Amino acid sequence: MNEFSEPTINKDDSNGVVSISGISMMEDAMDFYKPLKEWADQYLNSNKALVIDFELNYFNSSSAKQFIQLISKLEDDQFEGKVIWKYPNDHIIMYDRGKELEAILDVPFEFIGT
Amino acid sequence: MKNLKKILKFKRELRDDLISLYYAGKFSDQFTDLMIQLTQHEEHEEIKNNLSYLMVEVFQNIVRYKKENKQKYEIFSLRSIDDHLHIFSSNVVDLSSYSILKDKLKDINEKNPDDLKKLYLEILKAGVFGEKGGAGLGLLQMARRSSNPIQYNFSPVNEESKLFQYQLDFSINKGERIHERDKVFIAENITLLEEIYDEDIIFLFKGDFKKENANAILNIIQANTRFQTKNKEFNDYRVFHTAVELIQNISRHGKDLGGSIEGVFSLMRNDSGFYLATGNYIKNGEFEKVEDHFNKLNNYKGDDLQRVYLKTLKENAITESNQAGVGLIDVRRYNLSPFDFDIITDNNGFYLTAGVLIPFYI
């Protein structure tokens, strides 16, 4: 039943885009996101810009923590990059929850209703 | 606190159960796999196939024969106590089904295993199936695969229908007949399960809170808490999110009792909203921390909650662990209602029950 709790992650090295979509509510979010955070570190070793593209219907609080850890890598002045936060148009909470992450982090957010 | 007391009461009633599953929600085939998931346990390994078979049969019977409108006491339950499993079903049937079922059950219970097998083969050969797939054959197979008589009870509902309740009892040792003195009589189960029903409980599970079970519970909650109000998305979200955070709290903080983290989760629905409640043992020495955390949470006012949520999330993001430490703050800010909580002690240590009302209208 992992498809119920884990999002789909796509990493595009050539364009510098990583996308996280679906539902993120696993109990061990730290283990799940560890490879992605390591990939981001490695990618940023030789690249300046990274776009993190979220398209989620739901995430739990331990996923929120992992998102902050991932996005905060872009807070370093030597990097450019942004977060694209896609949310279902009728789902105001997913928009709000993106806005909350934006408030915590010093990284540009772009919001797109879908 | 009234709702929380109910959970404590049923926890006591179910204290000898390795697994208790009670379900009075929507009945459709999508739930059968989830019910089976929740009853998987290494103790049931030897009779795993029979268990799944019987659960599917019983659950699908309710789905197949249920009336269009929801009827009182439509219940499915499984209890695993000591070496025995008890699958219970309760649903309303019309009088014609009643007279057929009554005769069939009487007949089946009078037969020994050899006769049951003979009858089974005869029916197969003759190809006599009832309109809805052959109630007789289904019951016959239940008796054969459980290796025990089927306990049943009919009680009046109105002039056109009866409440039909039956129970399959079987041992974790394949084929073993349960001794009279070890029986859970259907009358006891009816009293308990109807009492749970009368408390507006839709779903109650006691058992292991491993990941697969947590996901199964969440699937069940999600399907049974759809709002029809104008803030549908928001309300659906609140219930689901509350359930996720409460359940994951059990798996993270619950005390390991010999290889598994035992917990109770229940969903109630009453006039004011959905009420979610959990119960679990907490680790030794966490009593004060837990009590303090809940008291703090309950003392925050509306605007504080938003501020505290963001502050805590940011601060805790630096630490390396799965816990964001904001789960319950987050739940509290969406539901506004304070948490009910209570900590009692018994032989296994400190037992925490916690519950929260998710009001229909905010």
Give the per-residue SS3 of B83-103. CEEEEEEEEEEEHHHHHHHHH
Chain A residues touching residue B241 (CB < 8 angstroms): 58, 60
pLDDT value of residue A56: 96
Chain A residues touching residue B243 (CB < 8 angstroms): none
pLDDT value of residue B302: 78
Q: Do A93 and B237 touch (CB under 8 A)?
A: yes
Please tell me which of the candidates B215, B316, B326 has its beta carbon nearest to residue A1: B215
Give yes or no for A91 touching B (CB within 8 A).
Answer: yes
Residue B113 CB neighbour total at 10 angstroms? 12
Give the predicted TM-score (pTM) of the model: 0.91
Please tell me which of the candidates B241, B248, B316 has its beta carbon nearest to residue A65: B316
pLDDT value of residue B135: 54
Alpha-carbon separation of residue B185 from B75, B149, B168 (angstroms): 17, 12, 11
Mutation target vs B (from A38, A62, A89; most B CBs, 10 A cutoff) = A62
Chain B residues touching residue A64 (CB < 8 angstroms): 313, 324, 326
Collect all residues with Cβ–Cβ distance below 8 Å to A87 and sequence separation of at least 6.
A55, A56, A94, A95, A98, A111, A112, A113, A114
Q: Do A1 and B244 touch (CB under 8 A)?
A: no
Give yes or no for A104 touching B (CB within 8 A).
Answer: yes
pLDDT value of residue B127: 67
- Do residues A25 and A43 touch, judged by C-beta distance below 8 A? no
Q: Tokens 């009234």, residue?
A: B2
pLDDT value of residue A1: 41
Q: Which residues of chain B have pLDDT under 50?
A: 131-133
Give yes or no for A15 touching B (CB within 8 A).
Answer: no
Where in chain B does DSSP place strands (E)? 17-23, 75-81, 84-94, 151-156, 161-171, 201-208, 262-269, 273-281, 340-346, 349-359
Give yes or no for B245 touching A (CB within 8 A).
Answer: yes
In the beta sheet, which residues pair with residue B276? Answer: B267, B356
Q: What is the ipTM of this complex?
A: 0.90
CA-nearest of A28, A29, A23 to A7 is A23
Q: What distance in Å separates the CA atoms of residue B265 and residue B214, rounded to the nearest whole number?
A: 10
Residues 18..57 of A with a Cβ closer than 8 Å to B: which?
Answer: 25-31
Please tell me which of the candidates A29, A92, A104 has its beta carbon nearest to residue B313: A104
What are φ and ψ of residue B111, in 5° steps?
Answer: -90, 150
pLDDT value of residue B104: 92
The alpha carbon of residue A93 is apart from the nearest alpha carbon of chain B, in Å, by: 7
Where are the alpha helices (H) located in B131-231, listed in sequence order? 135-146, 186-198, 211-224
Q: What distance in Å separates the CA atoms of residue B316 and residue B330, rounded to the nearest whole number?
A: 14
User: Quick check: A34 pLDDT over 60?
Assistant: yes
pLDDT value of residue B131: 46
Q: Do A62 and B233 touch (CB under 8 A)?
A: no
The alpha carbon of residue B188 is apart from the nearest alpha carbon of chain A, in Å, by: 35
In the beta sheet, which residues pair with residue B130? Answer: none
Over range A10-25, report the average pLDDT: 94
Chain B residues touching residue A56 (CB < 8 angstroms): none
Sign of CA dihedral B22, B155, B162, B55: positive
